[in-house]
Amino acid sequence: MFLENTINSKKRNGWIEVICGSMFSGKTEELIRRLKRAKFAKQKVEIFKPQVDVRYDEEAVVSHDENQIHSTPVPASANIPLLINDEEVIGIDEAQFFDMELVGVCNQLADQGIRVIVAGLDMDFQGKPFGPIPALMATAEYITKVHAICMRCGNLANHSHRIEGGEELVMLGETESYEPLCRNCFNDVRKIEKSKK
């Protein structure tokens, strides 16, 4: 019994943190802040992002405020464990663009004693749960939901309304394509859009 307790006490404790919200809510800014603090504490850190996200930079994770940190772009979540050595903290940005296997990958890493910090949109432009984020929220130890400001009324915004573009689920864009809206403004705009079809 003593030996078992000694072994368990030496095992590093891992967990999952999810930072979610609408576009322009500061998700990436918060991810970068946490990762830079971990680096300052001399922890070994690695950051990943989906290869498809090249809006600001092909490699760096960049916030809307142009704060940035170096990252490794990967084509699929299965690549993440293959690129980890002895890191203590793993950051994953734009997690909604990854496949559903990301949930298992994050839990596997946390089970190995790694702190996993994931940032991404929790809802798509139609207001529906987006990609692996909802399942990650269900298994995470910590969830931070951040909000933007509604571009129509100034209240807290939790929806990403697509101003222009098609109906495909994934469409990279910024302020020219999306605006953050509160629940009421989002519902009003969606009603108008549906009546025009």
Q: What's this model's pTM, rounded to 2 decimal places?
A: 0.84
- DSSP collapsed to 3 states, the chain: CHHHHHHHHHCCCCEEEEEEECCCCCHHHHHHHHHHHHHHCCCCEEEEEECCCCCCCCCCEECCCCCEECCEEECCCCHHHHCCCCCCEEEECCHHHCCCHHHHHHHHHHHCCCEEEEEEECECCCCCECCCHHHHHHHCCEEEEECEECCCCCCEECEEEECCCCCCCCCCCCCCCEEEECHHHHHHHHHHHHHHC
Q: List pLDDT tens digits, range 79-111.
A: 999 999 999 999 999 999 999 999 999 999 999
Per-residue pLDDT of 156-173, as tens digits, reads 999 999 987 666 655 555
**Catalytic residue ranges:** 94
Domains in the chain with CATH codes: 8-146 (3.40.50.300)
Which of the four pLDDT bands, split at 50, 70 and 90, describes residue 12? confident
pLDDT tens per residue across span 26-59: 999 999 999 999 999 999 999 999 987 655 555 5
Q: What burial class does residue 182 get, using C-beta atoms within 10 Å of its C-beta: 0-12 exposed, 13-18 middle, 19+ buried?
A: buried
Instruction: Decide if pLDDT at 3 tops 80.
Output: no
